């Protein structure tokens, strides 16, 4: 199994695509690797055809070449799982969470978040339609996967210039500031270390020292996917990352440093308990810290954001950018491991692997392939975690946990009070020893207690919940409600339609049905008064005549 895994990750790490304007190149010599070249093209280009070329080229160069190896890998994985008493490898993976009805609980969490995601999706589709016009067929309500600024459409923050609700309001992007202030990879790591130290936590400095890899080497090919490593000797911890000087990597560093901090805090547990309370906990720690780090307030405090005018429009901009990373990610994560569980269990045959992948992508993400896909393709393999056999549902769980953690830490730090004036999304736990103590109390346990007990220690809750993440994004959700196109009027004729306003058709207002009723009532009363007056006048004339 390990040999096959090495073969597949080797194919992944060495895959290259010829440049768009030189498609017949020698790929091994002149081809572009995923990081940083192909990722940059997906993030910055608005050339529909170039994006399509790169999107398809990466899948041809990576996933398609490992399909046969992956078939054998599934067979061996399931054999290993059954020898350990499990139905299949998916069943073995889910056992890490020690939760009955685990899959049902995940679907419940997603059902609670899905309405917010769909609001973002519809808003994004309308904005992209303005950019790509007739090239984007939106008749089915699905977004072509190559237009979302990311190789896998798992996060859409690279579309922020297109999707920013208020272009004239302040926005949070520190990439220019990092470069203007001569930041390099090392200095970015040192800034992250300073945050963790401000909470009274142990030093992470060993993780980016001489034994670590924090910049892409020029003399060899490496897997650039950011990762943190525990060498299990209670002293050696390292980060492996091809750091680029940009805001995205600045946040990623804080995420990876969260893994290191967790390693250090539970290092005194017995070896078998030196792991996260469940796999999602490990992913949640650094992301919890990043929620504070990415706030405008924090970035101003550390000198990376200036001339930022705080108001509701700026807040909506910031929340949108965060949602394009956090909320948008959830259906991709759920689709990826749902696909693998179905493959492991045999619920989908080998002849339908790729079709099933896109069925799930459409169901959960509402995205579609930009070109026809067949079973000679193997699109799941274009994502590192598939050939590397790394569970992905942990990230899904982590995205709920981090907001639960964040809310609890903010209360401990005195930065947030439920029902108070300060909203949750503005909290920054920087320099809070109280928040650091709460982190230490929970994380130092490792896997010594059931994850629900650790969660209760850290948050007062024993179950995963969507309430914190929904509260965090409530202002954005309300804004998106206001942006929804109004339903067409059933009694309006086509000729009554007015010109487009902001890309949306505004229908003529429906006539007020009370007007004719009121007019009729007035006329009726007037006629009645005339009749009564006539009758009274006639009686008076008759009486006078009889006198």
pLDDT tens for each residue of 247-271: 989 999 999 999 999 999 999 999 9
User: Mean pLDDT across the stretch 381-400?
Assistant: 94
User: Residue 485: what pLDDT?
Assistant: 87
User: Residue 36: what pLDDT?
Assistant: 87
How far is residue 314's CA from residue 172's CA, in Å, rounded to a whole number?
9
Instruction: Say if residues 406 and 385 touch (Cβ distance below 8 Å).
Output: no
Location of structure tokens 């070329």: 53
User: Mean pLDDT across the stretch 474-501?
Assistant: 66
Q: Which of 82-91, 352-361, 495-504 has the lowest mean pLDDT?
A: 495-504
DSSP of 128-177, one letter per residue?
Answer: HHHHHGGGS--TTS-EEGGGSSSTTSS--GGGHHHH-S-TTS-----HHH
User: Residue 489: what pLDDT?
Assistant: 56
- Residue 488's pLDDT band, with cuts at 50, 70 and 90, is low
Bigger pLDDT: 42 vs 531: 42
User: Residue 531: what pLDDT?
Assistant: 47
User: Residues with Cβ < 8 Å from 241, sequence gap 6 or more?
Assistant: 213, 214, 224, 226, 227, 249, 252, 253, 256
User: Residue 490: what pLDDT?
Assistant: 53
User: Residue 519: what pLDDT?
Assistant: 40
Residue 121, annotated ligand binder?
Answer: no
Active-site residue flag, 385: yes
Confidence (pTM): 0.84
User: Residue 544: what pLDDT?
Assistant: 40
Bigger pLDDT: 125 vs 100: 125
Residue 259, annotated ligand binder?
Answer: yes
> For 363-375, how does the pLDDT look when each residue is reduced to its tens digit (9 = 90+)?
999 999 999 999 9
User: Residue 2: what pLDDT?
Assistant: 84
Is residue 378 scored above 90 in pLDDT?
yes
Q: Mean pLDDT across the chain, nearest whole number? A: 89
How far is residue 218's CA from residue 204's CA, in Å, rounded to a whole number?
26
User: Residue 517: what pLDDT?
Assistant: 42
How far is residue 192's CA from residue 226's CA, in Å, rounded to a whole number?
15
Residue 395, annotated ligand binder?
Answer: no
Share of the chain above pLDDT 70, in %: 89
The catalytic position among 35, 157, 256, 321 is: 256
User: Mean pLDDT across the stretch 15-28?
Assistant: 94
User: Mean pLDDT across the stretch 478-488?
Assistant: 88
User: Residue 180: what pLDDT?
Assistant: 96
Between strands 143-144 and 367-368, the pairing is parallel
First to last CA, the chain: 124
- Residue 40's pLDDT band, with cuts at 50, 70 and 90, is very high
How far is residue 302's CA from residue 123's CA, in Å, rounded to a whole number?
33
- What are the E-state strand segments in 402-547? 500-501, 504-505
Active-site residue flag, 104: no
The catalytic position among 356, 385, 399, 406 is: 385
- Residue 24's pLDDT band, with cuts at 50, 70 and 90, is very high
Q: For 210, which DSSP code? A: T
Is residue 524 scored above 60 in pLDDT?
no
Q: Which of 391, 389, 433 is nearest to 415 (CA)?
A: 433
Residue 117, annotated ligand binder?
Answer: no
Instruction: Say if residues 466 and 327 touch (Cβ distance below 8 Å).
Output: no
- Residue 220's pLDDT band, with cuts at 50, 70 and 90, is confident
């Amino acid at each position: 199994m390990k040999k096959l895994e090495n073969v597949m990750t080797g194919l992944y790490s060495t895959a290259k695509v010829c440049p768009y304007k030189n498609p017949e190149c020698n790929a091994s010599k002149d081809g572009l690797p995923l990081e940083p070249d192909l990722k940059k093209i997906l993030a910055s280009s608005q050339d529909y055809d170039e994006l399509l070329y790169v999107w398809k080229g990466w899948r041809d160069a990576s996933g398609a070449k490992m399909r046969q190896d992956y078939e054998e890998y599934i067979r061996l994985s399931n054999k290993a799982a059954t020898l350990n008493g499990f139905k299949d490898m998916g069943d073995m993976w889910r056992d890490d969470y020690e939760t009955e009805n685990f899959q049902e609980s995940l679907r419940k969490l997603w059902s609670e978040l899905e309405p917010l995601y769909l609001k973002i999706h519809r808003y994004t589709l309308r904005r992209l339609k303005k950019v790509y016009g007739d090239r984007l067929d939106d008749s089915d309500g699905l977004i072509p996967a190559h237009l979302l600024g990311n190789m896998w459409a798992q996060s859409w923050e690279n579309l922020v210039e297109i999707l920013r609700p208020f272009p004239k309001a302040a926005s949070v992007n520190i990439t220019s500031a990092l470069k203007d202030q001569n930041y390099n990879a090392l200095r970015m790591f040192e800034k992250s270390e300073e945050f963790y130290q401000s909470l009274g936590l142990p030093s992470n400095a060993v993780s980016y020292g001489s034994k670590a890899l924090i910049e892409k080497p020029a003399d060899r090919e490496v897997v650039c996917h950011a990762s943190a490593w525990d060498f299990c000797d209670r002293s050696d911890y390292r980060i492996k990352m091809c750091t680029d000087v940009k805001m995205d990597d600045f946040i990623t560093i804080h995420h990876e440093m969260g893994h290191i901090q967790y390693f250090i805090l539970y290092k005194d547990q017995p070896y078998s308990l030196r792991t996260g309370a469940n796999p999602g906990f490990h992913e949640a720690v650094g992301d919890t810290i990043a929620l504070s780090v990415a706030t405008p307030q924090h970035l101003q405090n550390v000198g990376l954001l200036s001339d930022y005018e705080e108001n509701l429009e700026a807040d909506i901009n910031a929340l949108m950018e965060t949602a394009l990373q956090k909320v948008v990610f959830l259906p991709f994560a759920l689709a990826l491991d749902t696909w693998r569980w179905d493959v492991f269990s045999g619920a989908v045959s080998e002849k339908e692997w790729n079709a099933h992948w896109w069925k799930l992508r459409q169901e959960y993400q509402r995205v579609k392939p930009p070109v026809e896909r067949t079973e000679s393709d193997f699109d799941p393999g274009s994502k590192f975690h598939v050939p590397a056999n790394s569970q992905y549902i942990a990230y899904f769980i982590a995205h709920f946990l981090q907001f639960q953690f964040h809310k609890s830490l903010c209360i401990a730090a005195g930065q947030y009070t439920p029902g108070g004036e300060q909203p949750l999304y503005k909290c920054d736990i920087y320099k809070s020893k109280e928040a650091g103590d709460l982190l230490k109390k929970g994380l130092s346990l490792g896997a010594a207690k059931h994850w629900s007990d650790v969660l209760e220690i850290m948050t007062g809750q024993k179950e995963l919940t969507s309430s914190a993440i929904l509260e965090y994004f409530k202002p954005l959700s309300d804004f998106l409600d206001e942006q929804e196109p109004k339903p067409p009027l059933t009694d309006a004729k086509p000729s009554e339609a007015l010109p487009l306003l902001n890309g949306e058709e505004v229908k003529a207002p429906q006539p007020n049905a009370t007007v004719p009723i009121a007019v009729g009532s007035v006329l009726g009363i007037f006629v009645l008064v005339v009749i009564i007056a006539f009758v009274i006048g006639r009686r008076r004339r008759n009486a006078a005549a009889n006198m």
